[in-house]
Amino acid sequence: MRRKVVAGNWKMHKNYSEAVSLVSDLKNELINENLKCDVIVCPPFTFLEAAHTVVKSSEIQLGAQNMHFEEKGAFTGEVSAEMLKSVGCEYVILGHSERRKIFEESDETINKKVRAALAAGLRPIFCIGETLEEREGGKMFDVLGTQLKEGLKEVDAEGMGKIIVAYEPVWAIGTGKTATPDQAEEAHQFVRKTLGEIFDDGVAEKTVIQYGGSVKPNNAAELLAKENIDGALVGGACLEAESFLEIVRAAP
């Protein structure tokens, strides 16, 4: 049975002291708790080392929000997989809709990042999702299928075993709108079916597929109860310990 995974994507929020306070609160609250899911926090680059110092002796795992696909070089402002590993990261979010839309990252670029992360020993949280226009235009499954096939090119079954897929309908990110549990489950079923076509049914059944898109304490339990929804990639609700913990504790 797939274990649920709840990850918090802090995006560009918090200062140093606030970041340390948040991870400390999470760690203290989860001590000796019988967790039913894995918990990952993904602070901005500048707080990763400090966050690792706090969580390294706990069950909380550390992830980054992005990385470059090259190992090193003249790439001002970029961060490599090895740099992330050196400060304690185990995971990295790749292909987030904000990276795709605002920074115009292509499927090809995201694929390079996925393969570079795997080569360095990081576990990608690989994001896919459709816009409202694409959904209403009947293109949702085409978009998701393309993002999966192009983003996972040259990834073998062993590599896929280290990847978490995060389905995040773009129209539900930071808008307060949420896909209904049935809408989310339909998309997750399609993702799992497509993974079965790319790899095989065994790989598809083992893959953790998170839902991301305005996940909050009041809708987490209903979403996480769905058969193919294996966790959550949480945005705004992860910025306060109390609300993030409510989502973590909603895992069945």
Tell me the backbone φ, ψ of residue 6, rounded to 5 degrees.
-115, 120
| CA-based nearest residue to 95, from 151, 25, 11 | 151
111 near 83, Cβ under 8 Å? no
Which residue in 98, 105, 168, 185 is the catalytic one?
A: 168
Which residue in 96, 98, 185, 188 is the catalytic one?
A: 96
Q: Is 240 a catalytic residue?
A: no
Tell me the residue ranges of DSSP E strands in 74-212.
91-94, 123-128, 164-167, 209-211
| CA-based nearest residue to 251, from 230, 228, 227 | 230
Q: Which residue has tokens 């694409």?
A: 134
Q: Is 96 a catalytic residue?
A: yes
Dihedral of the alpha carbons of 13, 14, 20, 26, in degrees to the nearest 10: -60
Roughly what angle, to the nearest 10 degrees, separates helices 181-198 and 140-151? 40
Roughly what angle, to the nearest 10 degrees, separates helices 241-248 and 217-224? 20
Instruction: Provide the annotated active-site residues.
Output: 96, 168
